[in-house]
Structure 1
Amino acid sequence: MARDVNDSTPVTSRDALVEWLEAGIKSQDALAVGTEHEKIPFFVRSRAPVPYDPPGGGIRALLEGLGSALGWAPIMDRDALIGLYDEHGGGAVSLEPGGQFELSGAPLATVHGTKAETDAHFAALEPVAQRLGIAFLDLGASPKWRRDETPAMPKQRYKIMAAYMPKVGALGLDMMFRTATVQVNLDFVSERDMVEKLRVGLALQPIVTALFANSPFIDGAPSGLLSQRSQIWLDTDAARTGMLPFAFEPGMGFERYVDYALDVPLYFVKRGDHYHDVAGASFRDLLEGRLAALPGERATMADWTNHLGAIFPEARLKRYLEMRGADAGPRSHIAALSALFVGLFYDRIALDGALELIKGWSAEEREALRADVPRLALRARIGGREARDIALDMLALARGGLARRAAQDAQGRDETIYLAPLETIAETGRTLAEQRLEAFRGTWRGSVDPAFEECVM
């Protein structure tokens, strides 16, 4: 999330929360795609992580320079510059807890638009970063620095989260400070459409994780996993993560998701410029004005939207759907993730095919797949099949959906062009993680240091 919301409209009932989600329904001709990607910065000369405001410039200077280049408005947390936003186009830049630099893209009509947006972002960012001696890794987890070597960004909400995380999981701080992802956000045209897309998104998210596996190192050595980032999420906070088995049950809809979200513990309540630490408290208590830390204070729509952004399942519902299972990777993978889900979700034939692909998978099988993928990636199995074979089927469905959409760029090419890197991975069975482990054992000579030259965006 680029910035926390400040809508002070009182929440009068649970029904108002349901209606807020329902308001996300779009018409078929208004469907958009929004792409978010994180990247891990480092100083080129020292290969050290980038603090917020060190002598000579760091993350703050990077934001200041990018803001000047783009003309985007600042996002402040008290006196700290923590992001930028485009007042006209809808995009934003934000910081993750360890300085991971994120572009939250605007809602756009096509994947071509996403690709152009990403190119424009890097065209503006690169000169600023080069002046500061900063570059960006294209890995899903920082490969070398320990957690205690990773700087913290000056955001109030992250201090609250960092204090709470060790109480609910062993790896939550690693999630915050040492991982990076690419994510795609998509629309729905009805409640039924939302449910179908959420089910497909959740069930296939481990397959996506396998295709995008790109975080095989931690603390300067191979971790024994292909997606360390995905493994970290398995031990972060069970109350707000996971595969949402209830989404596959009869009666699933906006109301059921609201009831789930109401039972996820709060992190904070923001009033004015201050974040009140209420970590572990109940949103239901806030809704009824009986939150112990803020007696008499009642929920606002800002509280609700901020709370929904602090829930982290593999696929997430807000006023759109977020697909959250992919490791960060090269620039080509940013558009590839968007193309994959636009192809699956925005074509009826492809969506029906995806529903058929996941048909019959039990909750237990989905959970087992999710648990196996960090280690096995495309060799994990479900329903008697390898993830690689399912990935090939998934990509074929997406390719068909994109071809039928027939959204062309200036050269007359449709959006299928962006699937190529994923199709290569699925066809060869070699993830980026496995390719980089081969380099580690070969030309890198057992060191992760070459990653700071070869795994750069």
Structure 2
Amino acid sequence: MSNPGEADLTPITDTRQLAEWFAAGSKPRGDWGMGTEHEKFGFFRTGFASPTYESEGRPGGIRAILDGLAAKGWEPILDAGNPIGLKRRGASISLEPAGQLELSGAIVPDLHATHLELQDHLREVHAVTAGMGIGFAPLGFHPTHARAQMPWMPKGRYAIMRRYMPTVGSMGLDMMQRTCTVQANLDFGDEADMVEKLRISLALQPVATALFANSPFTEGRPNGFRSMRGQVWTDTDAARTGIPAVVFEQGFGFERFAEWLLDVPMYFVMRDGQWLDAAGRSFRDFMAGRLDILPGQRATIGDFADHVTTAFTDVRLKRFLEMRGSDAGSPGMIVAKPAFWVGLIYDDAAQKAAAALVRDWTLEDIRALRLAAPRQALQARIRGRSVQAVAQDVLAIARDGLKARGLGEEVYLAPLHEIAASGLTQADRLLHLYEKAWSGDAARALLHAEV
């Protein structure tokens, strides 16, 4: 999201402008970087309640944590006067709807810098929360709480989404309140490079869902899935999620994606620092000056940039590519996420090998795998092969791609190699602990996952 006062106010007069907005993200290879985002659930170690925005009788709350981090040199981001995020040197800390704390890392040149950034972030969070009795656990789905037990953060866009989500899917509020993810943001060279990278990463996103699966509990019990977070996304809002067919059509490029986005229903418009509810309305009408809540006003490039953030495809095209299909996990798994994708698409030979691996997969194959992966994880199958076998091939390509960079980054793939070799995901290991050492107490997953 653009922050208030930062939006591009250029009026949109033609859809070609929107294609040019995407194209402006193209970069020469020497300028490619990487950004990593991860979310984590806050919890009180005694009783396991989720911290609310205000402390409400507890020794700390989400606002107190933001205030503490601001004292360490972060600049607050305000919404209606409330601090709802922080920014510093190209990175930001933001709040998901139920207070899940998200680090959106700065763009860095290599995975070693990503690793150091994560360590620094966790060290700062620990320093601020010392004495509050609050821990943070990166898990794909909250292991114990019902929706009613999760708080809401005072962000204007979330109030709009909270009203709208139940009208378009059964699990949109679960997505907002009870999930955490890790994503990698990577660059492309030009339109043709973007198209190949986007197709590869959409095809392989269900494989990533399986490898990173880390959410086997719902409200204290096993839920039958390895990635409940992945399952939630299958019934959140079909108009803006999943694997868009347009990406695999002949002639696909920046303009075709922009056209697809124009048919994604709107959520909101920001004017004068206020969120206006435009849920379900047409961005095409907005471009034509026919939006009923802003009669006569035409959409700007800044409005379109905000609208792009409301498409939740498994891989999202912005001025870079967001790899979105994975559960949050341990620190090692957080860094493994960008390692996986950098290895696959930042080296020419690796990218060609990845493209060859998925060349015969049809859109129907990929979508079927996306539906199977949350439950079956590495035991799911595509074109007669198990995802475990496919993952081993994919990781071999990623390892070679990282080795070709010559920076020693392939070490960050180690936890994924172990999962692919053993066939046991993070979720499988949590289930084993639940059945044995934890005697059926799923709340122990929060302490086990604490970072």
| TM class by smaller structure | over 0.9
Corresponding residue SS for 2:36: strand
In the alignment, residue 426 of structure 1 is paired with which amino acid? A
| Structure 2 CA distance for partners of 1:2 and 1:176, relative to 1, 3 Å | farther
Tell me the residue number matched to 1:198.
198
Q: Does 1:130 align with 2:130?
A: yes
Corresponding residue SS for 2:130: helix
Tell me the residue number matched to 2:81.
79
Distance in structure 2 (CA, Å) of the matches to 1:129 and 1:286: 44
Q: Is the 8 A contact 2:2 2:306 kept in 1?
A: no
Tell me the residue number matched to 1:90.
90
Q: CA deviation at 1:140?
A: 0.7
Distance in structure 2 (CA, Å) of the matches to 1:169 and 1:3: 28
Comparing 446-455 with 177-186, which one deviates more in the overlay? Answer: 446-455
In the alignment, residue 67 of structure 1 is paired with which amino acid? A
Q: Does 1:326 align with 2:343?
A: no
Tell me the residue number matched to 1:114.
114
Q: Does 1:51 align with 2:52?
A: yes
| Structure 2 CA distance for partners of 1:443 and 1:40, relative to 1, 3 Å | same
Deviations 1:106-156 (A, max 9, x none): 111101111111111111111112232210112111111110110000000
Distance in structure 1 (CA, Å) of the matches to 2:2 and 2:332: 23
Q: Is the 8 A contact 1:34 1:107 kept in 2?
A: yes
Corresponding residue SS for 1:39: strand
Corresponding residue SS for 2:148: helix
Q: CA deviation at 1:57?
A: 2.4
Q: CA deviation at 1:13?
A: 1.7
Tell me the residue number matched to 2:375.
375
Deviations 1:397-426 (A, max 9, x none): 01001001112xxxxxx1001000000000
Tell me the residue number matched to 2:447.
453
In the alignment, residue 74 of structure 1 is paired with which amino acid? P
Corresponding residue SS for 1:234: helix
In the alignment, residue 62 of structure 2 is paired with which amino acid? I
The residue correspondences of 1:23-422 to structure 2 (distance < 5 A) are 23-54=24-55, 55=57, 56-69=59-72, 71-86=73-88, 89-407=89-407, 414-422=408-416
Comparing 335-344 with 446-455, which one deviates more in the overlay? Answer: 446-455
| Structure 2 CA distance for partners of 1:135 and 1:142, relative to 1, 3 Å | same
In the alignment, residue 277 of structure 1 is paired with which amino acid? D
Tell me the residue number matched to 1:10.
11
Tell me the residue number matched to 2:420.
426
Q: CA deviation at 1:47?
A: 0.8
RMSD between aligned alpha carbons? 1.0
Q: Is the 8 A contact 1:2 1:93 kept in 2?
A: no
Corresponding residue SS for 1:11: coil
Deviations 1:151-204 (A, max 9, x none): 000000000001000000000000000000000000000100000000011000
Distance in structure 2 (CA, Å) of the matches to 1:380 and 1:184: 24
Distance in structure 1 (CA, Å) of the matches to 2:178 and 2:366: 26
Corresponding residue SS for 2:336: helix
Q: How many residues align?
A: 448
Distance in structure 1 (CA, Å) of the matches to 2:180 and 2:111: 21
Q: CA deviation at 1:2?
A: 8.2
Distance in structure 1 (CA, Å) of the matches to 2:205 and 2:394: 11
Comparing 47-56 with 106-115, which one deviates more in the overlay? Answer: 47-56
Distance in structure 1 (CA, Å) of the matches to 2:338 and 2:162: 31
Corresponding residue SS for 1:327: coil
Ranges of 4+ aligned residues in structure 1 off by more than 6 Å: none
Distance in structure 2 (CA, Å) of the matches to 1:279 and 1:313: 18
Q: Is the 8 A contact 2:211 2:420 kept in 1?
A: yes
Distance in structure 2 (CA, Å) of the matches to 1:131 and 1:426: 39
Deviations 1:263-291 (A, max 9, x none): 00000000021100010001111111111
Q: CA deviation at 1:453?
A: 2.1
In the alignment, residue 360 of structure 1 is paired with which amino acid? D
Q: CA deviation at 1:361?
A: 0.7
Distance in structure 1 (CA, Å) of the matches to 2:185 and 2:422: 28
Identity %: 49
Q: CA deviation at 1:293?
A: 1.8
Distance in structure 2 (CA, Å) of the matches to 1:105 and 1:399: 23
Distance in structure 2 (CA, Å) of the matches to 1:168 and 1:283: 17
Tell me the residue number matched to 1:410.
none
Distance in structure 2 (CA, Å) of the matches to 1:346 and 1:258: 25
In the alignment, residue 339 of structure 1 is paired with which amino acid? A
Q: CA deviation at 1:3?
A: 4.7
Q: CA deviation at 1:363?
A: 1.1
Q: CA deviation at 1:9?
A: 2.3
The TM-score, its normalising length taken from structure 1, stands at 0.97
In the alignment, residue 262 of structure 1 is paired with which amino acid? L
Distance in structure 1 (CA, Å) of the matches to 2:339 and 2:418: 15
Tell me the residue number matched to 1:440.
434
Deviations 1:301-356 (A, max 9, x none): 22111110111000000000000001000011111011111111110000000001
Distance in structure 1 (CA, Å) of the matches to 2:96 and 2:157: 11
| Alignment gaps of 5+ in structure 1 | 408-413
Distance in structure 2 (CA, Å) of the matches to 1:173 and 1:452: 21
The TM-score, its normalising length taken from structure 2, stands at 0.98
Q: Is the 8 A contact 1:2 1:104 kept in 2?
A: no
Comparing 47-56 with 206-215, which one deviates more in the overlay? Answer: 47-56
Comparing 167-176 with 115-124, which one deviates more in the overlay? Answer: 115-124
Distance in structure 2 (CA, Å) of the matches to 1:251 and 1:342: 26
In the alignment, residue 186 of structure 2 is paired with which amino acid? L
Distance in structure 2 (CA, Å) of the matches to 1:187 and 1:128: 33
Q: Is the 8 A contact 1:2 1:83 kept in 2?
A: no
Q: Is the 8 A contact 1:2 1:92 kept in 2?
A: no
